[in-house]
Amino acid sequence: MKTAFVYTDTLAGYDYGSAHPLKTARLTLTRELIVACGLLTANDPRLVEPFMATEEDLLAFHTGDYLEALKVANSGRHFPGAAHFGLGPGDNPVFRGLLDGSRLGAGASLLAAALVDSGQVSIAFNIGGGLHHALAARASGFCYVNDPVLAILSLVNKGRRVAYIDIDAHHGDGVQEAFYATDRVLTISIHETGAALFPGTGFEYETGTGSGKGYCANIPLPPESDDELFLRAFDGTVPFLIEAFKPDIIVTQLGVDTFRSDPLAHLNCTTNGFCEAVAKIRDLAPRWVALGGGGYDIANVARAWTLAWAIMNDAEAPVEIPREFLEKHGREGFAGKLRDAGYIIEGQRKERMEKEVDRVIEYIKNEVLKTMGSS
């Protein structure tokens, strides 16, 4: 099994601002931890530097007017009408290099898809990707360019069947919208319910339209769900949907804002449930394009994606975070262990949550799996 780590430190140089929750330094931290753990040499993975996506690449999904707005925003200058495109103070600030950074992240995802599709590698990981909220003509949820959509489109345009699995705490709304009316892409999103969390979408009854009916699966989780509930939702839907759809390639968004200490969501997952899901995806995927995603506790991000990279390479990650890394980055919230201790909810609240997850699983089996099987 050949793997590629698609990365450049340049990605971390595009700064949303000191008050913004998305810290691009998390990417550098992740790479440094992977190196400290010896995982960029284990089993001889490829380290590949990405290119910037071209304007033509972006126009495969995004509109010309929106691209022109991003060009102006790239200077760091606010301009009249920016709010129409979702740009401005708040989630999607205007800053110098905004478009350059977005093009580089998208280029990394396009390169990951090309490496996997060509057979040069079986798995490619772009930790700087997974910006799944961007819409065709609007920035949303810290996302300006939707790199998962661009990567998937590049594969679909080559005749590939693609399944997209999104395990971020937030619903993958931009990707869903892009492929809601096609049967060439199966989208699966397991996330905290939109009744409690941005973007307020991703309910189980959102199952596609037209020829895409039955090719969109949403599994909303109750707030405070733990690893057991997350894996209950995953195991009850993902393997069966993948088996029915039979994709050529799986693209994943591996956001880790599902974790207990993340400040922007309300879930109670840990590295334990995350790693189990990543291992299951590895076993399900004929070929795999892995992308990053959310995660606003930067120590969680670095630890989780380091563990994910170890799983992708069938390598053993150390139990302890290497001392030299802790000496350099101990103030960033790292403790001694790479993995979290387990955390499980019990009692009547858990029983109610289990019933809700089981209800959604049954709905997906009836309204998505059966529809897909009959088409």
Enclosing H/E stretch for 37? none
Enclosing H/E stretch for 295? none
| Cβ proximity of 230 and 190 under 8 Å | yes
DSSP 170: S
The answer to whether residue 171 is catalytic is: no
Cα 148 to Cα 294: distance, rounded to the nearest angstrom: 13
Strand order in the sheet with 162-166: 46-48, 3-6, 123-126, 288-291, 249-253, 162-166, 185-192, 216-221
Q: How far is CA 162 from the centre of its chain?
A: 15
263 Ramachandran zone, left/alpha/beta (phi>0; psi -120 to 50): alpha
What residues contact 290, with CB distance under 8 A and at least 6 apart?
Answer: 112, 123, 124, 125, 126, 251, 252, 254, 308, 312
Nearest residue to 103 (alpha-carbon basis) of 199, 3, 8, 198:
8
Token representation of residue 157: 């345009």
Cα 269 to Cα 229: distance, rounded to the nearest angstrom: 9
Token representation of residue 4: 């590629």
Nearest residue to 364 (alpha-carbon basis) of 177, 183, 239:
239
For 86, list phi and psi in degrees, rounded to 5.
75, 15
Q: Which of 133, 170, 171, 191 is flagged as catalytic?
A: 133
For 166, list phi and psi in degrees, rounded to 5.
-120, 120
Q: Report the chain's C-alpha Rg in angstroms.
A: 19
| Cβ proximity of 227 and 269 under 8 Å | yes
What residues contact 64, with CB distance under 8 A and at least 6 apart?
Answer: none
| Cβ proximity of 16 and 24 under 8 Å | yes
Catalytic residues: 133
